[in-house]
Structure 1
């Protein structure tokens, strides 16, 4: 795919949604960090349901740490893998208190050193909370990047590298949100909604579906 086509794709995505946002509910970098940790292999809707009850009660590292493991589990037990996630969140809170004065670090190295935080989670927090141009490649972005031809790659790291290199600079800050939302609602896994797609004529997917 050439640069001109990529530019047109992101121009259209931006026109349709000038200020894309995450669908996770949060008001602080810490709330976002916890929500993203909880969202692994879970839906944003499911996470929001839990955090909408948790955050009015505890939304700081100290407050969640004070809930204790069993206390936290009560709030998040509707989310998949809640046992291991609860353990990670409690450890993460302890580490934020001990090493970062209760603040969420704004750099990759310190974020990835936190329990339960991998590269993808760090990228989401850096981009969404701290407005750094990063690309958090989840299943949606991986699928859209490969299927459309925007940035094909064999694994998430390859796709991330190519997107960071190939997405025109003016779109880089919000590209991760546009691609996730496009994959979630239009370029869906089983049967992409090509007939309802605003970039269908630019997409290089060979087996387009007819609605």
Structure 2
């Protein structure tokens, strides 16, 4: 995909969703951090259901420490892997209280040092809570980047580095959300909605095949 095509792609995605944001419910950087930790191998809908129960009880690091591990587990038990996630959240809250005055740090290294926080989670927090032009590559973004030819790569780190190089600067802050939404609702893992896609004429996979063949080829990515 050449630079002109990439720009056209993001111009169209921007026109569809001028102000994209996460579908996780949150009100503060800390709430977002907790929600993203919980979102691993879970749906945003499921996370929102759990945090709707948790945050009215405790939505600061100290409040969650006061709630305790058992209380936290009870609040998030509808989430997959909730035992391990609860332990990580408790450890993270303790570090935030002891080392960061109860605030979520804005530095990548400090974020990635928190239990349960990897590069993808740090990127989401930096981008969504603090407005940094980071791009967190999940399965949706990995799929869209490879299918369309936007930023093909063999793993998420490779795709992330390519996206940071090829996405026009003015679109970089919101690129994460546009690509996730596109992968979640249009360029789905199975039976992608290629004929109705706003960028199908820019997509490498669609242009190489008929709509029917594009669906079959796309389902393997």
Task: Output one character per residue of 1:43-91: Cα deviation in whole Å (capped at 9) or x when no partner.
Answer: 0000000001110110000001111111000110000000000000000
Match for residue 111 of structure 1? 111
The RMSD of aligned alpha carbons is 1.0
1:30 aligns with 2:30: yes
Deviation at 1:207, TM superposition (A): 4.5
Separation in 2 of the partners of 1:53 and 1:78?
Answer: 11
Correspondence list, 1:1-211, <5 A:
1-205=1-205, 206-207=208-209, 209-210=211-212
Kept in 2, the 8 Å contact 1:192–1:208? The answer is no
Secondary structure, aligned partner of 1:78 = coil
The TM-score, its normalising length taken from structure 1, stands at 0.98
**8 Å Cα contact 1:121/1:136 also seen in 2:** yes
Q: Does the residue aligned with 1:27 lie in a helix, a strand or coil?
A: coil
Where does structure 1 differ by over 4 angstroms across 4 or more consecutive aligned residues?
A: none
Separation of aligned partners in 2, 1:65 and 1:112: 20
- Match of 2:201, SS state, is coil
Q: What is the TM-score with the length of structure 2 in the denominator? A: 0.94
The residue matched to 1:106 in structure 2 has which SS?
coil
Corresponding residue SS for 1:201 = helix
For these two proteins, the number of residue pairs brought into alignment is: 211
Shift of the alpha carbon at 1:27?
Answer: 0.3
Is the helix fraction higher in 1 or 2?
2
Q: Deviations 1:135-180 (Å, cap 9, x if unpaired)?
A: 1000000000000000000000000000000001110000000000
Unaligned runs of 5+ in 2: 216-221
